[in-house]
Amino acid sequence: MSSRSKRMIDAVIKYVVSDSQNMAAVSNSNRDDCVRCYEPMVDDSIRKGGFSDDSPVEKNITQHPYPVCRLNHLDFDCDNHFCPWKVAQGGEMKWCGEAVGRGSPAYFARVARLRRALLLLAAAACTAAALLYWRQQSDDRATRPLHNLYTDVEPEWTWVCRNERCERLPAAEMSSLQSLPTCNMLCASTQLWPQPTGPVSLATAAVPVRASAFNLHVVASPSRHVSEHLEDAFSLFREDLRALEKNMISDKHSDIGPAHEVVVRISVNGSSDVRMLIDTDESYKLSLRPKRNTLVADITAHSFCGARHGLETLSQLIWLDPYAGSLLALEAATVEDAPRFRYRGLLLDTARNYFPVGEIVRTIDAMAACKLNTFHWHISDSQSFPLRLNSAPQLAQHGAYGPGAVYTTEEVRAIVRRARLRGIRVLIEVDAPAHVGRAWSWGPQAGLGQLAYCVEVEPWSAYCGEPPCGQLNPRNPHVYELLERIYAEIIQLTGVDDIFHLGGDEVSERCWSQYFNDTDPMDLWLDFTRRAMRALERANGGKAPEMTLLWSSRLTRSPYLERLDMKKFGIQVWGASRWPESRAVLDAGFRSVISHVDVWYLDCGFGSWRDSSDGHCGPYRSWQQIYEHRPWVDESVGGMGPVGDGWRVEGGEACQWSEQLAAGGLDARVWPRTAALAERLWSDRAEGAAADVYLRLDTQRARLLARGVRAAPLWPRWCTHNPHACL
Amino acid sequence: MFYEILQVRMDWQWALIVVLVHLAQGNEGNSVDPTPDLYEPSWVYKCEPEEGCQRSEHPQPTNSSAANSSFMVFESLDVCRTVCGPFGGLWPRPVTAVLSTQTLKMHPNLLRFALTNAPVETREMLVEMTHVITSNLFAECNGNITEMVETPVMVYISVKSPSLELTWDTDEQYLLDVQNEVDNIVVHISAETVYGARHALESFTQLIAPDRPEFSNQHQCGLRIVTGAKIRDKPVYKHRGLVLDTSRNFIPMEDIKRTIDGMAATKMNVFHWHVTDSQSFPLESRRVPQFTKYGAYSANEIYSTEEVRELIRYARIRGIRVVIEIDSPAHAGNGWQWGKEYGFGDLAVCVNARSWRHLCIEPPCGQLNPANPAMYRVLRDLYRDIAELVPQPALFHVGGDEVYLGCWNSSEEIVSYMKNKGFDTDTEGFIRLWAEFHSKALQIWDEETMAVGGQQQPVLIWSSELTQPERIQNYLDKKRYIIEVWEPLSSPLLTQLLRMGYKTISIPKDIWYLDHGFWGKTKYSNWRRMYGHVLPRDPNVLGGEVAMWSEYVDAQALDTRVWPRAAAVGERLWSDPRSGFAAAEPRLQRLRARLRARGLRPDVVSPEWCAQHDARCY
């Protein structure tokens, strides 16, 4: 065994059995530090991070409406078992580790000083010898002493939590090693993403665990259906832990003492529906505490989805320590949490370019890791129609890019199933009446007449925003029959019947007026929308979904907006944040989902993919800009002006259009930027991309990587290694 | 001299076919409903003279007129692209090419290479080169070619020069001739050097495409080769490079090799490896292990000497030279911070300084300490390690960019050193110090090069304050330094340096930096913009580079950031065509498919519909 691995084991033992020598020092200084609590920043000036091109901005932060944590919430008392110090003093419960957090630096610093002095002495001596040797050997450069001084050296860093920051130090300066993930988890930041909106308290000590030693106990469940889903969601949770363990170096984990059993007890008191519905209560409470040689995690929620979010948070309290070669878990924690917005979405366009099912599943997994709840699947457009429906198989036949570029109903069901276990609704959008194409060209040969006009017409620029063109025939009743069949099958496939998306953007008035010069195309459009709505109602068992979304467009502006039924329709606002339309829609009382093109469109900033360069959006939006966009509060940043009374903002959505994106590039384009949006929508913290946000998002990115998501880095690795140093 | 290649693979292939046949029979036995899926999408691609490849409905079997015209109708878009248009699926565009529109089935196992007309010294390398292209051909069908073929392909390679040197003077031109003779296809390659022959082999693979429908859900795949071709080709610029920064974020060796594969596919020839920076020092130095001990992110994030040697070899058989850059005197920090501990004093100053905004361009700071003689000793050891690693004649990059005079000015040691030397402590004084550093460093490099038996060579250096027209001639000898100009397009520096007679490499940051568009106020250049930039035609412009700085990229996002945009620069530097991006796009689509087949993850350049309908997305 090399000396290096020996040191690592020492470090791990430190977690497990306290060193009796420094116990007193640790326990004294640690008395108030057993549990970290997180108060919201109040009137504190925060320095925005970033490199030299982002000029630093000072900003006053207002009182957060949802306090993150209160220290006294727990009625904290070191006599209870949340306190590692007390337990360690008892001496018998060796599982309760020494707190490696705030108490230890003083001790380490002393040791370091001593070691440094010794090292300096040794180095000076060596140098003298070396210089002498050098003189002698000046002709023979190849055998200079420099490299003989330190052969067989390997880089090794250790991290110490000092002043609420993890500091990187050469391992040689410390008697034991602490890995960066462990330091981060035990130091100041919660490392949770998205940050919970309720009180959070976390222990500063960790215990070894392993994926196979997690067991589920469903304490209460409103139905067998919910219990089954809890069991399946728990299996996914364990898979995620195994994915973490996969990076472990196998020969080490036996050396760190026995892993703790973890009993996860879940109680769901409330909805017996496992679906993510518009009124699903997603709140949950999580408490994690040690009990003899086990950890007990209690999750209580009012829905399956809430309980699942609790599991997600629990998974964020568990990490891989590369030095220990084991998973570690905080030994105690309490979290109360609920989302700020109930619609938290990501749109993926699979029509401009096709994405294999595996990429979609991975995207859903990543969404779940950030507690997003809506996968908005823009499945068809004028370029292609990859959805092979049983009720209208001709659409994919004529519309898919190729025989392997289709989504079969089995595949869609598999995706929906995965998403449901992840607390995510799959909202499939078949855009209409514009954004249709060759898929609808088979009408005449099937005896149904023209289903669509202007399909792939030239010059395209006269009839649509990007090639190829196509628009449904609003006067052909067969179109509505087909739409009804499509809608019915989508509802049946996804099980989502309370929200629906009709599409409805970018209709070319010119295309229609070529064929219907007797009618105002706007009237045609309005009429189309109503008839499509009726088709949807028929497809949904005769009743309208609670909210049917339309993209914002000319139709959702005055004087047409007034002619839409606000009880039925919600508007997905995608115009620029400074456009008046966001305000107008909200002021008119419509429910809205916000996807401002200038901030939350992930496809912007990549230039034009066609010769005529107008029409593409830009610039690229960084995660910081996505994070800091809060159009619903009274800020000039949002551009929407003062907050109106009774605005009904359901939430927001990031949109990944795929004109310039295909499989392989998806992850790095979407992540970690969508994670930034996820916290905006879940926590809606008042402060912007402050230092703590960088640190937590960086950790979240590492979690995504462990799940196989190729998320882009936030910055050079050095900045990860030196938290706060790049801010 | 003929030799068998991949005999083992051929046997394996047979075994697989047998299995497939069994499977197919099993299916036949079990299937109850033999009616095919009526609603399967099924497209063909027509090669239209003006528009290129166009998707259309599958011709009905009853329609006999469609069968007559079928010679220009293809089930495979890749095959359509390979014959459609004057340059088929070739990237970069060759100087001249005449291509047949006929194709024949081929199989890499029936590929024979004759090396009798190549000097003995070159044969070993040629054999390796042919292995690379053979495996690239298998990759076109994901390694699984199911079509049985009986047409052999004989490749006669003739090379004149026995030299294996790869320098700016290496003659890269080649002739490639493909003819369909009675029972086989005969390919003649003639080139001055092995590297010319390699480019010819690369072009040869680009005359071959997988014959299967787009987004096929079947496993059948065969290859088709253009039956006649005459290609005469040579590069316009002799330096066609890609900078990869592996310091800001570590890039694993396999990802670097994949990048090399992409460069080989586009006939780029210089891998400029920005291996170190102030953030980390991942390059192992046998003489100074402290570099990685104090500079690497972890023990797993080090390029060992063996790995580097292997990379150099890997790149070489792909016609690519590895140019190592040790950036200095700025952009050096982590990896140099151990001097005090070893009694050598400060090898670098400002390392990881807290108030970085005053001392460097981005955190962490760090600049070598030119007042410390020990620093030069350590540098010498590092240079010696590198000199021993790289093949001679070696090309080396000394860095030399973004020196923050304020950092040096913050060190008392340096300021007093300057006073002793009689340097003023104003800007010009610090510039003198900077120039002194480079001249000492160059002398050390020269000495170490010669110590390993090499010859004095010019070195590359970034443009900077030091290379301003009013200063450069005082400090940098135009025989010794080649200036890599990274100023934006609007800067007159490139023209000024050319007028003064300096040799240059051009890398305009606002066009050819791949990291732009993701931070600050920088703007993203898509492939069209990169392609549209034309370098001045001047014998002193040796070529250009495209740069992947890695602040916001690691192995996860590397491929999509680099490809296919780097290929656009590759073609600009190889053939510098007058035609614009519209003429290039169909070939680029083919290149993208080829890169994917070879295991890269290139970005798309348009919706798939545009790829299936050439020239329709204007």
Whether B398 and B497 map to the same domain: the answer is yes
Whether A372 and A281 map to the same domain: the answer is no
Question: A135 and chain B: CB distance < 8 Å anywhere?
Answer: no
Question: B341 and chain A: CB distance < 8 Å anywhere?
Answer: yes
Domain encompassing residue A77: 3-104+158-337
> Considering A275, A302, A337, which residue would you say is the last residue of a domain?
A337
pLDDT tops 90 at residue B600: yes
Please give the residue of chain A at the shortest CA–CA distance from B609. Answer: A383
Contact B40 A661 (CB under 8 A): no
> Considering B233, B258, B288, which residue would you say is the last residue of a domain?
B233
How would residue B119 be classed by pLDDT, with cut points 50, 70 and 90? very high
Q: Flag whether B455 is in a domain.
A: yes
- Give me the residues of A, 411-450, that contact B with CB < 8 A: 437
Whether B299 and B203 map to the same domain: the answer is no
Residue B260: name the closest of B616, B509, B599 by CA. Answer: B599
Q: Over pLDDT 90: what percentage of chain A?
A: 68
Predicted pLDDT of residue A109: 37
Domain encompassing residue B285: 239-329+371-403+412-579
Q: Measure the CA–CA gap between A515 and A496, rounded to whole angstroms.
A: 36
Residue A681: name the closest of A410, A344, A428, A412 by CA. Answer: A344
Q: What is the tally of structural domains in chain A? A: 2
Contact A667 B361 (CB under 8 A): no
Q: Flag whether B507 is in a domain.
A: yes
Whether A376 and A332 map to the same domain: the answer is no
- Mean pLDDT, chain A, rounded, equals 82
Predicted pLDDT of residue A580: 86
Whether A167 and A277 map to the same domain: the answer is yes
Whether A328 and A261 map to the same domain: the answer is yes
Predicted pLDDT of residue A22: 35
SS3 state at B600: coil
Whether B98 and B164 map to the same domain: the answer is yes
Pair A436, A382: CB distance under 8 Å: yes
How would residue A115 be classed by pLDDT, with cut points 50, 70 and 90? low
Q: Flag whether A519 is in a domain.
A: yes
Contact B248 A718 (CB under 8 A): yes
Q: Flag whether B49 is in a domain.
A: yes
A529's tokens: 């929308």
Whether B284 and B229 map to the same domain: the answer is no
Q: Flag whether A134 is in a domain.
A: no
Neighbours of B67 (CB within 10 A): 12
pLDDT tops 60 at residue A64: no
Whether B250 and B223 map to the same domain: the answer is no
> Considering B188, B215, B233, which residue would you say is the last residue of a domain?
B233
The amino acid at B596: R
Whether B195 and B246 map to the same domain: the answer is no
Residues A173, A481, A506, A546: which is the catalytic one?
A506
Q: What is the mean pLDDT of residues B592-612?
A: 97
pLDDT digits (tens, 9 = 90+) for A377-394: 999 999 999 999 999 999
Q: Mind telling me how many Å the CA of B295 is from chain A's nearest CA? A: 8
- Mean pLDDT, chain B, rounded, equals 92
pLDDT digits (tens, 9 = 90+) for A125-144: 555 555 444 444 333 333 33
Give, for B532, the enclosing helix (H) or strand (E): helix B527-532
B583's tokens: 């003429």
Q: Measure the CA–CA gap between B141 and A636, rounded to whole angstroms.
A: 55
Q: What CATH number is given to the structural domain containing A459?
A: 3.20.20.80
Q: Flag whether A477 is in a domain.
A: yes
Whether B203 and B265 map to the same domain: the answer is no
Q: Flag whether A148 is in a domain.
A: no
Tell me, yes or no, if the pTM score tops 0.90.
no
Q: Flag whether A203 is in a domain.
A: yes
Q: What CATH number is given to the structural domain containing A257?
A: 3.30.379.10
Whether B465 and B500 map to the same domain: the answer is yes
pLDDT digits (tens, 9 = 90+) for A563-582: 999 999 999 999 998 888 88
Question: B3 and chain A: CB distance < 8 Å anywhere?
Answer: no
Complex ipTM value: 0.91
SS3 state at A330: strand
Q: Mind telling me how many Å the CA of A7 is from chain B's nearest CA? A: 15
- From residue A706, give the alpha-carbon distance in Å to each of A335, A362, A366, A676, A700: 24, 12, 10, 18, 10
Question: B289 and chain A: CB distance < 8 Å anywhere?
Answer: yes
The amino acid at B278: S
> Considering A290, A321, A337, which residue would you say is the last residue of a domain?
A337
Residue B12's φ and ψ, nearest 5 degrees, are -60, -40
Whether A235 and A351 map to the same domain: the answer is no
Residue A506 among the catalytic residues: yes
pLDDT digits (tens, 9 = 90+) for A295-317: 999 999 999 999 999 999 999 99
Predicted pLDDT of residue A255: 59
pLDDT tops 60 at residue A687: yes
Predicted pLDDT of residue A641: 58
Whether A44 and A100 map to the same domain: the answer is yes
A194's tokens: 């998205």
- Give me the residues of A, 375-404, that contact B with CB < 8 A: 382-384, 388, 393-394, 396-404
Q: Flag whether A67 is in a domain.
A: yes
pLDDT tops 80 at residue A684: yes
* CA dihedral angle for residue A301, residue A307, residue A310, residue A315, rounded to 10 degrees: 160
Residue A197: name the closest of A85, A272, A309 by CA. Answer: A309
Predicted pLDDT of residue B132: 98
pLDDT tops 80 at residue B189: yes
Whether A455 and A415 map to the same domain: the answer is yes
> Considering A337, A356, A373, which residue would you say is the last residue of a domain?
A337
Q: Over pLDDT 70: what percentage of chain A?
A: 75
SS3 state at B224: strand
Neighbours of B89 (CB within 10 A): 27
Q: What is the DSSP string of A83-107?
A: -HHHHHHHSS-TTSPPP-STTSHHH
Question: A327 and chain B: CB distance < 8 Å anywhere?
Answer: no
Q: Flag whether A128 is in a domain.
A: no
Q: Flag whether B599 is in a domain.
A: no
Q: Flag whether B14 is in a domain.
A: no
- Which residues of B are identified as catalytic? 402
B352's tokens: 């990881």
Q: Flag whether B593 is in a domain.
A: no
Whether B109 and B183 map to the same domain: the answer is yes
Close Cβ partners of A392 (under 8 Å, ≥ 6 residues apart): A482, A485, A486, A489
Whether A589 and A661 map to the same domain: the answer is yes
Predicted pLDDT of residue B58: 77
Task: Mean pLDDT check: name the lowest of A559-563, A615-619, B332-336.
Answer: A615-619
Whether A163 and A260 map to the same domain: the answer is yes
Task: Mean pLDDT check: name the lowest of A514-523, A704-713, B23-32, B451-460.
Answer: B23-32
pLDDT digits (tens, 9 = 90+) for B78-96: 999 999 999 999 999 999 9
Whether B75 and B165 map to the same domain: the answer is yes
Contact A717 B604 (CB under 8 A): no
Whether B516 and B568 map to the same domain: the answer is yes
Cα B519 → chain centroid: 24
Task: Mean pLDDT check: name the lowest of A22-26, A516-520, B441-445.
Answer: A22-26
Q: What is the tally of structural domains in chain B? A: 2
Q: Measure the CA–CA gap between A26 and B319, rounded to whole angstroms.
A: 61
Close Cβ partners of A570 (under 8 Å, ≥ 6 residues apart): A547, A548, A549, A550, A590, A591, A592, A593, A650
Q: Measure the CA–CA gap between A156 and A661, rounded to whole angstroms.
A: 39
Q: Flag whether A115 is in a domain.
A: no
> Considering B175, B205, B233, which residue would you say is the last residue of a domain?
B233
Q: What CATH number is given to the structural domain containing B439?
A: 3.20.20.80
Whether A646 and A561 map to the same domain: the answer is yes
DSSP E strands in B319-368: the ranges are: 321-328, 348-349, 367-368
Whether A376 and A509 map to the same domain: the answer is yes
A:B CB pairs within 8 Å: 258
Q: Flag whether B178 is in a domain.
A: yes
Whether B211 and B283 map to the same domain: the answer is no
Q: Measure the CA–CA gap between A111 and A174, rounded to whole angstroms.
A: 7
Predicted pLDDT of residue A248: 73
Residue A400: name the closest of B574, B214, B473, B201 by CA. Answer: B214
How would residue A23 be classed by pLDDT, with cut points 50, 70 and 90? very low
- From residue B8, give the alpha-carbon distance in Å to each of B14, B107, B597: 10, 15, 22
Q: Measure the CA–CA gap between A669 and A40, rounded to whole angstroms.
A: 31
Predicted pLDDT of residue B182: 85
Whether A354 and A310 map to the same domain: the answer is no
Task: Mean pLDDT check: name the lowest of A95-109, A475-489, B396-410.
Answer: A95-109
Q: Alpha helices, DSSP H only, in A374-517?
A: 394-399, 409-421, 477-494, 509-515
Predicted pLDDT of residue A65: 37
Give, for A654, the enclosing helix (H) or strand (E): strand A648-656
